[in-house]
């Protein structure tokens, strides 16, 4: 019975070639546009997420309880020990890429007659290799174990001080004992991240030098970088079982990335708006096609009911035609979207610097099974809704009036 109804629906679609082609083309255009728009935004969010994780946050942060809430006011009250055996033992896992200690501080940087405030991070130079994807060294080179007095500074901070690679500066900071200490260091490189405001005030230096400057052997954060962001929750559960909860707190990246989370919400609302527009286009196209089809086949409907076809059967027939038009249009739209996404991604989309950044980038279009499935489901649901009224109208016709229409 299902095959018979499908065969009839297919014949009716093929019979009205021009009208069916226009409807299928409208659906395909809408789906291709949705796939490209959604894929473009999803690629931007994916790239932004990875840049945020790899340049600043890491996938997981091991800190003292309450550090992120009160650590800015009293950072030295939340120092971690120099080594954590439980974390050292986890380094050999396949999911963990690197575990890097970080000691955050702030102070004054002086060059010549100019002195500015800064925020600094003491990082393990060997671990900095894990950050090369998002922390771009624009001039010079990164931190090195062989040069403990070499630092890297953000492009904005270097511009404010007139710094270049090779220049010597003096850093002043408050030690754990609340005294002032200073160290003379050399600029080894300039870096940029996804946040221009961060680059305007930030610098990074070897953690051993930072510990000597602050006169402490500890660190504020142990950053855990993973090979795959999808494993965040799995590794989070494992580490929470290994580390005492009263002494350590493990915070995943998505609880710290406030700007990223708000950007995702904004872009998702835009995608919902695009989906609504596409749904309206499909709804009008299918509804118009089905209504015209019903009006042209009044006599045919009366003949079918006179031969014993039930009103439910008539309704299923027209619903099947509408859904079939939607399926054909969505399949064609997904194919066109796939081809265009591949072509555009191979060429790249030059993008200007987003708000808050200083460098542009080359975007692509991400096409995943989730995007395809969501688009296909949207079409099926919309075409089904659009076909209900014309199908119901066809099934409510009186047999005598429909047969008289043939005359």
pLDDT by residue (tens digit) across 185-221?
999 999 888 778 888 999 999 999 999 999 988 888 8
Paired sense of beta strands 136-140 and 180-192, if any: antiparallel
Query: Residue 110: what pLDDT?
Result: 94
Mean pLDDT taken over the chain: 84
The model's confidence at residue 1, banded by pLDDT at 50, 70 and 90, is low
Return the closest-CA partner of residue 127 out of 248, 228, 236, 225. Answer: 225
Q: How many CB atoms neighbour CB 376 within 10 A?
A: 18
Q: How do residues 92-129 score in pLDDT, each as one tens digit?
A: 667 888 888 889 899 999 998 899 999 999 988 877 66
pLDDT above 90 as % of the chain: 22
Report residue 109 CA to chain centroid gap.
Answer: 36
Structure tokens at 139: 């001039």
Residue-wise burial string across 96-124, b where 16 or more C-beta atoms lie within 10 A, e elsewhere? bbbbbbbbbbebebebeeeeeebebbbbb
pLDDT over 70 at 406, yes or no = no
């Amino acid at each position: 019975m299902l095959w018979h109804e499908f065969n009839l629906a297919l014949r009716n679609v093929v019979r009205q070639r021009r009208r069916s082609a226009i409807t299928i083309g409208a659906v395909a255009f809408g789906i291709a546009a949705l796939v490209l728009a959604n894929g473009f935004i999803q690629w931007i969010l994916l790239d932004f997420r990875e840049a945020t994780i790899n340049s600043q946050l890491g996938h997981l942060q091991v800190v003292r309880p309450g550090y992120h809430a009160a650590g800015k006011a009293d950072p030295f009250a939340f120092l971690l020990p120099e080594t954590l055996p439980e974390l050292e033992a986890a380094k050999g896992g396949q999911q963990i890429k690197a575990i890097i200690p970080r000691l955050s501080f702030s102070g004054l940087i002086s060059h010549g007659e100019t002195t500015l405030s800064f925020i600094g991070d003491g990082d393990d130079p060997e671990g900095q290799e894990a950050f090369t994807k998002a922390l771009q060294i624009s001039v010079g080179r990164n931190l090195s174990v062989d040069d403990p007095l070499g630092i890297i500074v953000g492009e904005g901070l270097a511009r404010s001080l007139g710094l270049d690679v090779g220049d010597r500066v003096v850093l002043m900071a408050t030690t754990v004992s609340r005294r002032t200490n200073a160290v003379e260091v050399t600029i080894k490189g300039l870096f940029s991240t996804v946040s221009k405001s961060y680059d305007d005030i930030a610098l990074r230096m070897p953690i051993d030098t930072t510990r000597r400057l602050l006169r402490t052997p500890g660190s504020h954060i142990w950053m855990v970088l993973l090979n795959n962001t999808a494993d965040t929750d799995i590794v989070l559960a494992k580490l929470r079982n290994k580390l005492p909860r009263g002494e350590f707190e493990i915070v995943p990246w998505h609880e710290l990335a406030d700007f990223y989370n708000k950007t995702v919400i904004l872009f998702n609302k835009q995608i919902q708006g695009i989906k609504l527009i596409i749904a309206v286009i499909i709804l009008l196209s299918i509804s118009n096609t089905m209504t015209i089809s019903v009006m042209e086949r009044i006599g045919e409907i009366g003949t079918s009911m006179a031969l014993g076809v039930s009103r439910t059967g008539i309704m299923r027939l027209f619903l099947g035609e509408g859904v079939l038009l939607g399926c054909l249009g969505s399949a064609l739209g997904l194919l066109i979207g796939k081809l265009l996404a591949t072509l555009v991604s191979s060429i790249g989309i030059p993008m200007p610097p987003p708000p808050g950044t200083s460098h542009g980038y080359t975007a692509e279009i991400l096409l995943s099974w989730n995007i395809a499935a969501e688009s296909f489901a949207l079409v099926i649901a919309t075409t089904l809704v659009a076909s209900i009224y014309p199908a119901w109208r066809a099934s409510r016709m009186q047999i005598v009036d429909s047969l008289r229409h043939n005359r």
